[in-house]
Amino acid sequence: MSLMTGEEYIESIRRLKMEVYMFGRRVEDPVEDPILRPSLNSVRMTYDLAQLAEYEDLMTAVAPETGERINRFTHIHRSAEDLVKKVKMQRLLGQQTAACFQRCVGMDAFNAVYSTSFEVDKKYGTSYHENFKKFMFDVQRRDLTVDGAMTDPKGDRSKAPHEQEDPDLYLRVVERRADGIVVRGAKAHQTGALNSHEVIIMPTIAMKPEDRDYAVSFAVPMNTPGLFMVIGRQSCDTRKLENGDIDVGNAEFGGVEALMVFDDVFVPNERIFLNGETEFAGMLVERFAGYHRQSYGGCKVGVGDVLIGAAAVAADYNGVPRASHIRDKLIEMTHLNETLYCCGIACSAEGHPTEAGSYIIDLLLANVCKQNVTRFPYEIARLAEDIAGGVVVTAPSEADLRDEKIGPYVEKYFKAAPGVSVENRLRILRLIENLCLGTAAVGYRTESLHGAGSPQAQRVMIARQGNLPMKKALAKKIARVAE
């Protein structure tokens, strides 16, 4: 067993030959497509950092079953310390990429399916947990990137899966065979699907017996026949097709989302982790959502570190680093960012073992973490835009800067602090635009709101786990209320 290098990872994705569509055409070579390549580079960083001795403790772990060192993204959390290291690793990667590095969703699916499948087997005598462990060992041995897919298109939100006018609006089993199942449907907003070797499918909501065909979890390779992707459109995405790199803001790294379509895909029995046991659908959803909401206390904080740094540089370049209101805004950005990190660490430190022996975060605190993530990045972004100024959205293009006639005027009228080149000023402004408004909004701003479930989904879980009766009892005891 060995850890893949970043270059080996790139070549392994190239060999997969996935079916990918974008802008109304099939993408023949996603690895080299200029719009898609930055997202692949972000995942590559999870492999490159794992090769460095200084990051070994965060980026890797020792698998207890084999004693081998594996990438932490393929690891099952065995302690609260593991959960804390996960968050620290995610912050590091956010700092290094200023983008979504895409492997978190698969890691969170790994851990949710591991513990849930154990409990399904305990009740029904199924072999889902053993199926998953075999899959897990293969992923660890080959150091694969695994995506996790939970979100269905959902259709009419007022209706259950089996009540939909189009039954395929939730992914479902359409045929059960002696050797496996055939599934049809789609998974939407799939982060990292394009850059993954495998995908774990999970149900998206708690289900009743009538939804048996929709209560399904399994894993398939991303080049499985009948599985294809339609890449989501992002703001400013075609800037990557232009000459130069200034206007992109973050030229090397990025994120990408996809609609993942399953057009009668066959899944062999040994790859199935849930198949009709509806009462466990809600457990799987709750655990995955909890793990993924914990993740945001790391990744968004790392990207926030970059945005705070960019805002501070913009203040320097504008000539106002010592202005009291600028310093106060940077303090507020730091306060908000570190508060998110506190939440990620807290829900990890309060983790506890599941019946399977793996560790799960404190679900209440994980949902509080994500609820804050739906708010604080928006304020951090607002303050960054405030510090940088309106030039973030009105600056001329790199082509204008390079133009023989227009360039000198751009140089003359966009000059600010002494000793700062106009090109460097534009680079920082475009990075801020990228993080707050452009393609990285998927990895920071908008995705902070809807990733890992809507804000209302977290509030539902907070209400469920907040233990209001216990708090009422505390108050009555202190007040000496007798009923």
Could you list the active site residues?
A: 100, 104, 191, 257, 292, 296, 299, 447
In a 3-state reduction of DSSP, which class is residue 226?
A: coil
Which CA distances in Å does 289 have to 103, 191, 208, 257, 451? 15, 15, 19, 18, 10
Length in residues, the chain: 483
Q: Which helix (H) or strand (E) holds 96?
A: helix 80-97
Closest by CA to 325, choosing from 390, 391, 383, 385, is 383
191 is in an annotated binding site: yes
**Tokens describing residue 107:** 């890691």
CA distance 50 to 58: 8
E strand segments, 132-270: 146-149, 172-177, 180-187, 198-201, 216-221, 227-231, 258-268
CA distance 205 to 148: 15
Q: Which helix (H) or strand (E) holds 61?
A: strand 60-62
Q: Give the count of beta carbons closer than 10 Å to the beta carbon of residue 283.
A: 17
Q: Show binding-site residues for FAD.
A: 191
